[in-house]
Copies of this chain bind each other. A is one copy, B any other.
Amino acid sequence: MSAMAEAKSPGRPRCQETRDAILRAAYELLESGGLVAFTIEAVAERSGAAKTTIYRWWPNKGALAMESFLRVAEQHSPFPQTDSARADLRAHLHLFAKSLRGRAGRLLTGIVAEAQKDPATRAAFIRSYVAPRRQAARALLERGIARGEFRTGLDVEGVCDALYGFFYMRLLLAHAPMDDAAVDRIVDLVLSGISLETETVA
Protein backbone atom coordinates (compact mmCIF):
# COMPACT_ATOMS: atom_id res chain seq x y z
CA MET A 1 0.00 0.00 0.00
CA SER A 2 1.20 3.49 -0.72
CA ALA A 3 2.57 5.93 1.78
CA MET A 4 0.07 8.65 1.00
CA ALA A 5 -1.90 9.59 4.05
CA GLU A 6 -5.54 9.72 2.94
CA ALA A 7 -6.13 11.06 6.50
CA LYS A 8 -9.89 11.19 6.03
CA SER A 9 -10.91 13.91 8.43
CA PRO A 10 -14.15 13.41 10.32
CA GLY A 11 -17.38 15.25 9.66
CA ARG A 12 -19.22 15.99 6.51
CA PRO A 13 -16.79 16.18 3.66
CA ARG A 14 -16.49 19.28 1.62
CA CYS A 15 -19.04 19.61 -1.13
CA GLN A 16 -17.15 19.68 -4.39
CA GLU A 17 -20.12 20.93 -6.38
CA THR A 18 -20.47 23.97 -4.21
CA ARG A 19 -16.79 24.66 -4.57
CA ASP A 20 -17.04 24.40 -8.32
CA ALA A 21 -20.14 26.55 -8.43
CA ILE A 22 -18.37 29.24 -6.44
CA LEU A 23 -15.29 29.21 -8.66
CA ARG A 24 -17.42 29.23 -11.77
CA ALA A 25 -19.51 32.14 -10.54
CA ALA A 26 -16.33 33.93 -9.58
CA TYR A 27 -14.71 33.78 -12.96
CA GLU A 28 -17.91 34.46 -14.78
CA LEU A 29 -18.36 37.65 -12.82
CA LEU A 30 -14.71 38.58 -13.13
CA GLU A 31 -14.83 37.97 -16.84
CA SER A 32 -18.02 39.80 -17.62
CA GLY A 33 -17.90 42.75 -15.29
CA GLY A 34 -14.32 42.90 -14.14
CA LEU A 35 -13.24 43.72 -10.64
CA VAL A 36 -16.22 46.01 -10.15
CA ALA A 37 -18.76 43.22 -10.56
CA PHE A 38 -16.62 40.76 -8.66
CA THR A 39 -18.16 40.91 -5.24
CA ILE A 40 -18.37 38.21 -2.63
CA GLU A 41 -22.07 38.88 -2.35
CA ALA A 42 -22.53 38.58 -6.08
CA VAL A 43 -20.51 35.38 -6.17
CA ALA A 44 -22.65 34.00 -3.35
CA GLU A 45 -25.87 34.87 -5.10
CA ARG A 46 -24.83 33.61 -8.49
CA SER A 47 -23.36 30.38 -7.18
CA GLY A 48 -26.19 29.73 -4.77
CA ALA A 49 -23.69 29.34 -1.95
CA ALA A 50 -23.79 31.19 1.33
CA LYS A 51 -21.25 33.89 2.01
CA THR A 52 -20.14 31.92 5.03
CA THR A 53 -19.17 29.04 2.84
CA ILE A 54 -17.07 31.24 0.63
CA TYR A 55 -15.28 32.79 3.56
CA ARG A 56 -14.68 29.36 5.01
CA TRP A 57 -12.48 28.44 2.09
CA TRP A 58 -11.01 31.66 0.82
CA PRO A 59 -9.68 34.28 3.18
CA ASN A 60 -10.59 37.22 0.95
CA LYS A 61 -11.59 38.41 -2.47
CA GLY A 62 -8.10 38.20 -3.84
CA ALA A 63 -7.64 34.57 -2.96
CA LEU A 64 -10.89 33.59 -4.61
CA ALA A 65 -10.11 35.63 -7.70
CA MET A 66 -6.69 34.00 -7.90
CA GLU A 67 -7.99 30.49 -7.70
CA SER A 68 -10.76 31.01 -10.22
CA PHE A 69 -8.24 32.63 -12.51
CA LEU A 70 -5.81 29.74 -12.15
CA ARG A 71 -8.57 27.32 -13.12
CA VAL A 72 -8.94 29.11 -16.39
CA ALA A 73 -5.30 29.92 -16.99
CA GLU A 74 -3.76 26.63 -16.06
CA GLN A 75 -4.93 24.78 -19.07
CA HIS A 76 -3.41 27.19 -21.57
CA SER A 77 -0.25 28.33 -23.29
CA PRO A 78 1.98 25.26 -22.98
CA PHE A 79 5.62 25.38 -23.91
CA PRO A 80 6.32 23.42 -27.12
CA GLN A 81 9.60 21.61 -27.28
CA THR A 82 10.87 21.13 -30.80
CA ASP A 83 14.48 21.24 -31.99
CA SER A 84 14.37 25.01 -32.44
CA ALA A 85 14.28 27.21 -29.35
CA ARG A 86 13.41 30.18 -31.49
CA ALA A 87 10.42 28.40 -32.94
CA ASP A 88 9.41 27.20 -29.49
CA LEU A 89 9.53 30.71 -28.10
CA ARG A 90 7.50 32.09 -30.97
CA ALA A 91 4.97 29.30 -30.74
CA HIS A 92 4.61 29.67 -26.98
CA LEU A 93 4.07 33.42 -27.19
CA HIS A 94 1.41 32.99 -29.84
CA LEU A 95 -0.42 30.62 -27.54
CA PHE A 96 0.07 32.97 -24.62
CA ALA A 97 -1.30 35.89 -26.62
CA LYS A 98 -4.25 33.82 -27.64
CA SER A 99 -5.07 32.96 -24.05
CA LEU A 100 -4.79 36.63 -23.05
CA ARG A 101 -7.14 37.60 -25.84
CA GLY A 102 -9.66 35.21 -24.35
CA ARG A 103 -11.13 34.68 -20.95
CA ALA A 104 -7.83 34.50 -19.11
CA GLY A 105 -6.91 38.01 -20.22
CA ARG A 106 -10.12 39.47 -18.93
CA LEU A 107 -9.49 37.85 -15.59
CA LEU A 108 -5.84 38.73 -15.44
CA THR A 109 -6.44 42.46 -15.39
CA GLY A 110 -8.58 42.05 -12.31
CA ILE A 111 -6.01 39.87 -10.61
CA VAL A 112 -3.22 42.34 -11.23
CA ALA A 113 -5.35 45.17 -9.90
CA GLU A 114 -6.32 43.21 -6.82
CA ALA A 115 -2.68 42.28 -6.32
CA GLN A 116 -1.86 45.97 -5.99
CA LYS A 117 -3.99 46.33 -2.89
CA ASP A 118 -3.35 43.00 -1.25
CA PRO A 119 0.21 41.74 -0.80
CA ALA A 120 -1.04 38.20 -0.18
CA THR A 121 -2.76 38.17 -3.54
CA ARG A 122 0.36 39.47 -5.21
CA ALA A 123 2.43 36.79 -3.58
CA ALA A 124 -0.05 34.10 -4.57
CA PHE A 125 -0.14 35.41 -8.11
CA ILE A 126 3.61 35.30 -8.43
CA ARG A 127 3.94 31.93 -6.76
CA SER A 128 1.12 30.16 -8.56
CA TYR A 129 1.03 31.77 -11.94
CA VAL A 130 4.07 33.82 -12.76
CA ALA A 131 6.77 31.63 -11.28
CA PRO A 132 5.92 28.36 -13.08
CA ARG A 133 5.70 30.13 -16.42
CA ARG A 134 8.97 31.87 -15.70
CA GLN A 135 10.54 28.59 -14.85
CA ALA A 136 9.48 27.11 -18.19
CA ALA A 137 10.46 30.21 -20.12
CA ARG A 138 13.84 30.21 -18.43
CA ALA A 139 14.34 26.57 -19.38
CA LEU A 140 13.43 27.37 -22.97
CA LEU A 141 15.91 30.22 -23.12
CA GLU A 142 18.66 28.19 -21.53
CA ARG A 143 18.01 25.35 -23.93
CA GLY A 144 18.44 27.89 -26.71
CA ILE A 145 21.69 29.07 -25.21
CA ALA A 146 22.94 25.51 -24.88
CA ARG A 147 22.04 24.81 -28.47
CA GLY A 148 23.88 27.88 -29.65
CA GLU A 149 20.77 29.68 -30.78
CA PHE A 150 20.89 32.39 -28.15
CA ARG A 151 23.69 34.54 -26.86
CA THR A 152 25.53 33.30 -23.79
CA GLY A 153 25.49 35.43 -20.68
CA LEU A 154 21.94 36.50 -21.35
CA ASP A 155 19.95 38.22 -18.61
CA VAL A 156 17.28 35.57 -18.74
CA GLU A 157 15.06 37.23 -16.17
CA GLY A 158 15.27 40.49 -18.02
CA VAL A 159 14.29 38.84 -21.27
CA CYS A 160 11.26 37.34 -19.60
CA ASP A 161 10.20 40.69 -18.18
CA ALA A 162 10.59 42.40 -21.51
CA LEU A 163 8.66 39.71 -23.34
CA TYR A 164 5.88 39.18 -20.85
CA GLY A 165 5.89 42.87 -20.00
CA PHE A 166 4.98 43.60 -23.57
CA PHE A 167 1.85 41.50 -23.20
CA TYR A 168 0.91 42.82 -19.77
CA MET A 169 1.31 46.32 -21.12
CA ARG A 170 -1.06 45.78 -23.99
CA LEU A 171 -3.46 43.88 -21.80
CA LEU A 172 -3.62 46.38 -18.96
CA LEU A 173 -3.63 49.52 -21.07
CA ALA A 174 -5.40 48.16 -24.15
CA HIS A 175 -3.91 50.97 -26.15
CA ALA A 176 -2.78 48.73 -28.99
CA PRO A 177 -3.78 45.33 -30.33
CA MET A 178 -2.22 42.03 -29.32
CA ASP A 179 -2.82 40.09 -32.49
CA ASP A 180 -0.55 37.51 -34.11
CA ALA A 181 1.25 40.06 -36.25
CA ALA A 182 2.17 42.06 -33.17
CA VAL A 183 3.43 38.91 -31.51
CA ASP A 184 5.63 38.10 -34.48
CA ARG A 185 7.05 41.57 -34.47
CA ILE A 186 7.89 41.51 -30.78
CA VAL A 187 9.56 38.13 -31.14
CA ASP A 188 11.61 39.41 -34.04
CA LEU A 189 12.55 42.43 -32.01
CA VAL A 190 13.72 40.49 -29.05
CA LEU A 191 15.57 38.03 -31.22
CA SER A 192 17.48 40.60 -33.23
CA GLY A 193 17.35 43.83 -31.29
CA ILE A 194 16.84 47.25 -32.68
CA SER A 195 20.39 48.17 -33.55
CA LEU A 196 21.25 48.27 -37.21
CA GLU A 197 24.69 46.78 -36.82
CA THR A 198 25.66 43.99 -34.51
CA GLU A 199 27.74 45.69 -31.92
CA THR A 200 29.66 44.26 -29.11
CA VAL A 201 27.73 44.87 -25.99
CA ALA A 202 29.84 46.45 -23.34
**Contact yes or no, B130 A194, CB < 8 A:** no
In the complex, identify which listed stretch (A19-27, A41-49, A68-76, A155-163) lies at the interface while the others stay far away. A155-163
**Contact yes or no, B159 A189, CB < 8 A:** yes
**How close is A8's CB to chain B, nearest CB, in angstroms?**
18
Chain B positions within 8 Å of A199 at CB level: 191-192
Contact pick for A173, options B130, B166, B170, B176, CB 8 Å: B130
Nearest chain B residue, comparing its CB with the CB of A144: B194
Contact pick for A193, options B157, B161, B193, CB 8 Å: B193
Q: Which residues of A contact B (CB under 8 A)?
A: 34-36, 86, 109-110, 112-117, 122, 125-126, 130, 141, 144, 148-152, 154-155, 157-159, 161-170, 172-176, 182, 185-186, 188-196, 198-199, 201-202
**How close is A181's CB to chain B, nearest CB, in angstroms?**
9
A113-B114, A162-B162 given; 9 more Cβ-contact pairs under 8 Å: A36-B117, A115-B173, A155-B186, A161-B165, A165-B165, A189-B190, A192-B195, A193-B193, A193-B194
Chain B positions within 8 Å of A161 at CB level: 165-166, 169-170, 176, 186
The count of identical subunits is: 4
Chain B positions within 8 Å of A170 at CB level: 161
Query: Bound complex: CA of A113 vs CA of B109, how far in Å?
Result: 8
Query: Bound complex: CA of A30 vs CA of B110, how far in Å?
Result: 19
**Contact yes or no, B116 A35, CB < 8 A:** yes
Chain B positions within 8 Å of A35 at CB level: 116-117
